[in-house]
Chain A
Amino acid sequence: MNLGPHADFIVAAYAVTIFAVAVLIAWIVLDYSAQRRILGNLEDSGVTRRSRRSNRDAQ
């Protein structure tokens, strides 16, 4: 495929887009695992959410 005399601009545009989308995806995936890990640590240390506590009390 011949991108012509302005190939650098085309390649740069695709590279910037791929980089920005990759950063977004990585940020969301890493944030998800971090929140899951923190929640797991809090639950392991015996902290329970009020909604779960009220459900447990009701039973």
Chain B
Amino acid sequence: MAIIDLANPTRFLNIVNRLLPWLAAATAVVFAFGLARILNAPDDYQQGATVKIMYLHVPAAWLAMMCWGVMSLAALGTLVWKHPLADVSGKAAAPLGAAFTFICLVTGSLWGRPTWGTYWVWDARLTSMLVLFLLYLGVLALYWTVEDPGRGSRAAAILTLVGALNIPIIKFSVEYWNTLHQPASLFRKGGSAIDPSILIPLLIMAGGFTLLFLTLHLAAMRNEILRRRVRAMRLIQAQELAEAST
């Protein structure tokens, strides 16, 4: 099957219907494996057991940024190529990204209180992450409130591309500014600074979160395609009723 076949919503739905049960099962298995590894992972020598919050906070942060990356590609697809599924993908990803950013902010705050002595500080990393959350809410507002879906989608796509500038700011905020948030521990020059006994459960949880995103994204795209069919059929119904009454 050629990749272009995926542009057909009906073919896409058939593929998604076949894939979803397997993806959901794989997500559950990876999370179960990851949680079992977390239970047996050692405490951090400085932070103690609070390091267990990292297994949620870090994957949620990665997914929050990755989801915006997916939406940025979808925005390009919507504005440049007008791909039928690109807009569906962007709209389906936005609430997922908002949820992962919310999880990142809340778990980070709950981790910060025992580690730093405060729930929140207006440093570059935390503030740029909050800006990302507000951008997600802005995109959702455009998708959900603009009456003409086409105009709403184009406006959301433009905001998504503008908001993509925030992703490198988040990534490099801990290097360019003096922040309370620690610098990168995993993706850095000289390799990871995390011991394998903690790193492996973290990577398994990151895999679980990624699979969760993939599963929910495909399921939300399926819902959006069905919602557009409902809208199209209601317009046809209204048109037929108008013709019948004249």
Contacts and interface: CB of A to CB of B under 8 A. Distances in A.
B237 A42 contact: yes
Contact of A35 (B96, B99, B230): B230
B194 interface: no
Interface of A is mostly: helix
Most A CB within 10 A of own CB, among B57, B99, B223, B237: B223
A8 B26 CA distance: 30
Contacts, number: 97
Interface of B: 39, 43, 48-50, 52-53, 56-57, 60, 95-96, 99, 102-103, 106-107, 110-111, 113-114, 212, 216, 219-220, 222-223, 226-227, 229-230, 232-234, 236-237, 240
A3 B49 contact: yes
A23 B222 CA distance: 18
Interface of A: 1-7, 9-10, 12-14, 16-17, 20-21, 23-25, 27-29, 31-32, 35-36, 38-39, 42-43, 45, 47-50
Contacts of A50: 232, 236
B227 A35 contact: yes
A39 B57 contact: no
B107 A13 contact: yes
25 contacts: A1-B39, A5-B48, A5-B114, A6-B48, A7-B49, A13-B53, A13-B56, A13-B57, A13-B110, A16-B107, A16-B110, A17-B103, A20-B102, A21-B103, A24-B216, A28-B220, A28-B223, A32-B219, A35-B223, A35-B227, A36-B226, A39-B229, A42-B230, A47-B233, A47-B237
Given A24-B95, A47-B236, A13 B49 contact: no
A17 B60 contact: yes
Given A4-B43, A16-B106, A16-B107, A9 B236 contact: no
